[in-house]
Amino acid sequence: MDIATVKERAGPRQFSPKDDMPEEYRKAATRMIQFHANSEIMGAYLERPFIRQAPSLDRKLAFSAKVQDEIGHGQLLYRAAESLGIKTRDQMLDELANGEGKFLNCFHYEMENWWETPMIAFFVDGAAMRRQATLKRTSWEPYAHAMDKVCFEEGFHVKHGEDIMRELSMGSKKEQELMQEAFEEWWPRIIQFFGPTNEKSTHHDFSAEVGLKTMTNDDLRNAFLNAYIPKAKKYGLEIPDEPRIERDEETGTYKVREDDLDWDEFFQIAKNSYEPGVGQINGRKHAQDAAEWVRDVLDDWESSGSNTPVAAD
């Protein structure tokens, strides 16, 4: 199948591993899905410390389940990417550990305090839901099938984050102030979650033509603002003065003054050269290296054809 035929046939769940897809499509789809898988893994690593830091047993259990879900999403997506025949799952995991794999801007930043957790669990996961819901109509069928499961579970994650935010908003004045401070710090990062503006996006046009994407970055960003600015206000959060958010009085819709956002920092992050993000990558590499012996033992056992596990030295 040539690329012109792909563009002509492009539609929801149109293509699968049985189709002879052109390399240009397979590379673009692999890049997109690998980025998504990496982001799920790195999001889990960002939130993992809060399994212990959560203030109650219920919260610890909820965070444990959420982190487990995110790791599972990553593995599911690596398999969807692997089905394109460009890279193996192990290659993609190695690229992530070595700082070559790209992932979402929000997961390059550190998160240290409990009152920051709704910034990821509510706002970032809510932004992810806006994007992932559209990917249930992507043209690569294994990716769309993965989104069915991912979106179902992400819906619970957003409710979990909203519950934490509700509790903090009803807490002490100090808790409310700390959550507002976290919101002001994370708000520009959250708005940049959807990627560069349409004119700066280098991959959107082709991805849209072959059906991998169905909405532009700017359309997704505006849809998120329209849904989540009222929710932020509902829980007592004040929208920061910067970046400026403009409201159309006739339609009641919002849009951001995109030149107020730090795009230089964003593109530095995109190159995996932003210092906090390097720390996140190094942490992921350390975790992967620490478990290397487990993979070696399992590989030896599988290659031996024995029913008896191989003991580690």
Q: Which residue has the higher pLDDT, 82 or 286?
A: 82
Q: What pLDDT does 309 receive?
A: 56
pLDDT band at 289 (very low <50, low <70, confident <90, very high): confident
At residue 313, does pLDDT exceed 70? no
Alpha-carbon distance of 3 to 262, in angstroms, equals: 36
Q: What is the pLDDT of residue 239?
A: 95
**Of the spans 70-84, 196-210, 293-307, which averages the highest pLDDT?**
70-84
Return the percentage of the chain with pLDDT > 70, whole number.
Answer: 94
pTM for this prediction: 0.88
For every residue of 166-233, DSSP letters joined together read HHHHTS-HHHHHHHHHHHHHHHHHHHGGG-S-GGG-SSHHHHHHTTS--S-HHHHHHHHHHHHHHHHH
The predicted model gives 155-170 an average pLDDT of 95
Residue 275: count of CB within 10 angstroms of its CB: 8
Domains and CATH numbers, the chain: 3-267 (1.20.1260.10)
The mean pLDDT of 293-299, rounded to a whole number, is 77
Distance CA 40, CA 81 (A): 14
Handedness of CA 111, 40, 105, 151 (dihedral sign): negative
Asked if 106 and 118 count as a contact pair (C-beta separation under 8 A), the reply is: no
- According to DSSP, the residues that pair with 247 across neighbouring strands are 254
Q: What is the pLDDT of residue 306?
A: 61
Instruction: Write out pLDDT tens, residues 80-114.
Output: 999 999 999 999 999 998 889 999 999 999 899 99
Average pLDDT over residues 20-49: 94
Q: What is the mean pLDDT of residues 160-188?
A: 96
Would the pLDDT of 282 be above 90?
no
Regarding predicted confidence, which is higher, 127 or 197? 127
User: Cα–Cα distance between 201 and 203 in angstroms, integer?
Assistant: 6
**CB-based contact 261:105 (threshold 8 Å):** no
Question: Is 304 exposed, middle or buried, given 0-12, 13-18 or 19+ CB atoms closer than 10 A?
Answer: exposed
pLDDT at 273: 74
pLDDT at 290 (0 to 100): 75
Please check the confidence at residue 136 and state whether its pLDDT lies above 90: yes
How far from chain centre, in Å, is Cα 240? 24
pLDDT above 90: percentage of residues in the chain: 70
pLDDT at 304: 78
